[in-house]
Amino acid sequence: MEEQPHAAAAAAAGPRDGGPASHTPHTPGSPTTPAAATATAAEDHAHGAMQHHQQQADGTAPVPSPPPPAADDTSPTTTTAAPPPTAFAGTAPDYSRGSERKASLQPSDIATSPRGTNAGFVAPSSYLRPLAATREREDQQQRSESRHHGMAGEPGARKVMHPLDREQREGLRAIRAFLKVRTTYDVLPLSYRLIVLDTALLVRKSLNILIQCGIVSAPLWDSKTSTYAGLLTTSDYLNVVQYYWQNPDALAQIDQFKLNSLRDIERALGVTPIETVSIHPLKTLYEACRRMLESRARRIPLVDIDDETQREMVVSVLTQYRILKFVSVNVKETQMLRKPLRDLRQVGTYDNLAFARMDSSVIEVIHALVKRSISCVPILDKDGVVLNVFEAVDVIALIKGGDYDNLNLTVGKALEKRSEDFPGIYTCTLNDRLDTIFDTIRKSRVHRLVVIDERSHLVGLLSLSDILDYTLNSPLEE
pLDDT tier at 4 (50, 70, 90 boundaries)? Answer: low
Instruction: Count CB-CB contacts under 10 A for residue 417.
Output: 14
Least confident of 9-18, 218-227, 244-253, 326-335: 9-18
CA triple 149-150-155, angle to 5 deg: 145
Least confident of 38-52, 256-270, 321-335: 38-52
Q: Give CA–CA dist 446/21, Å, rounded.
A: 10
- Count Cβ neighbours within 10 Å for each residue of 76-105 and write b for 16 or more, e otherwise: ebebbbbebbebbebebeebbbeeebeebb
Tell me the HSE value of 363 on the side-chain side, using a 13 A CA sphere: 13
**Average pLDDT over every residue of 53-59:** 42
The mean of the pLDDT values for the chain is 74
Percent of the chain residues topping a pLDDT of 90: 41
**Average pLDDT over every residue of 367-372:** 88
Q: Which domains, ranges and CATH numbers included, belong to the chain?
A: 2-25+103-134+337-467 (3.10.580.10), 36-93+180-330 (3.10.580.10)
Distance, CA of 74 to chain centre: 28
Least confident of 58-72, 418-432, 462-476: 58-72
**Average pLDDT over every residue of 193-203:** 93
pLDDT exceeds cutoff 60 at 83: no
pLDDT tier at 144 (50, 70, 90 boundaries)? Answer: low
Q: Give CA–CA dist 190/97, Å, rounded.
A: 16
Higher pLDDT pick, 15 / 242 = 242
pLDDT tier at 249 (50, 70, 90 boundaries)? Answer: confident
Higher pLDDT pick, 477 / 175 = 175
Q: List the beta bridge partners of residue 314.
A: 303
**Average pLDDT over every residue of 348-358:** 93
Q: What is the pLDDT of residue 138?
A: 55
Q: Are 114 and 423 in contact, with CB atoms under 8 Å apart?
A: yes
- φ/ψ (deg, to 5) at 130: -65, 160
Q: Give CA–CA dist 221/239, Å, rounded.
A: 20
Higher pLDDT pick, 113 / 372 = 372
Least confident of 96-100, 111-115, 305-309, 440-444: 96-100
Q: Give CA–CA dist 478/476, Å, rounded.
A: 6
pLDDT tier at 421 (50, 70, 90 boundaries)? Answer: confident
Q: What is the pLDDT of residue 241?
A: 85
Distance, CA of 308 to chain centre: 35
Instruction: Count CB-CB contacts under 10 A for residue 69.
Output: 16
- Count Cβ neighbours within 10 Å for each residue of 292-315 and write b for 16 or more, e otherwise: beeeebbbbbbbbbbbeeebbbbb
**Average pLDDT over every residue of 390-406:** 83
Residue 265 CB contacts under 8 Å (≥ 6 apart), including other chains: 236, 239, 240, 243
Q: What is the pLDDT of residue 127?
A: 33
> Strand 197-198 and strand 218-222: pairing?
parallel
Q: List the beta bridge partners of residue 355.
A: 2
Q: What is the pLDDT of residue 23?
A: 38
**Average pLDDT over every residue of 86-112:** 34
Q: Give CA–CA dist 246/236, Å, rounded.
A: 15
Instruction: Count CB-CB contacts under 10 A for residue 447.
Output: 18
* CA-to-CA dists, residue 360 to 140, 324, 326, 408, 413, angstroms: 47, 34, 38, 10, 10
Q: What is the pLDDT of residue 373?
A: 85
pLDDT tier at 473 (50, 70, 90 boundaries)? Answer: very high
pLDDT exceeds cutoff 70 at 1: no
pLDDT exceeds cutoff 70 at 180: yes
pLDDT exceeds cutoff 80 at 376: yes
Q: What is the pLDDT of residue 475?
A: 84
User: What pTM value is reported for the model?
Assistant: 0.68
Q: What is the pLDDT of residue 39?
A: 37
Q: Give CA–CA dist 226/214, Å, rounded.
A: 26
Summarised one tens digit per residue, pLDDT across range 294-338 is 988 899 999 999 888 889 999 999 999 999 999 999 999 999 999
Torsion sign, CA atoms 68, 187, 329, 232: positive
pLDDT tier at 461 (50, 70, 90 boundaries)? Answer: very high
Considering only CA atoms, give the Rg of the chain. Answer: 23
Instruction: Count CB-CB contacts under 10 A for residue 33.
Output: 29
Q: Are 432 and 19 in contact, with CB atoms under 8 Å apart?
A: yes
Highest mean pLDDT: which of 31-40, 205-214, 413-422, 462-471? 462-471
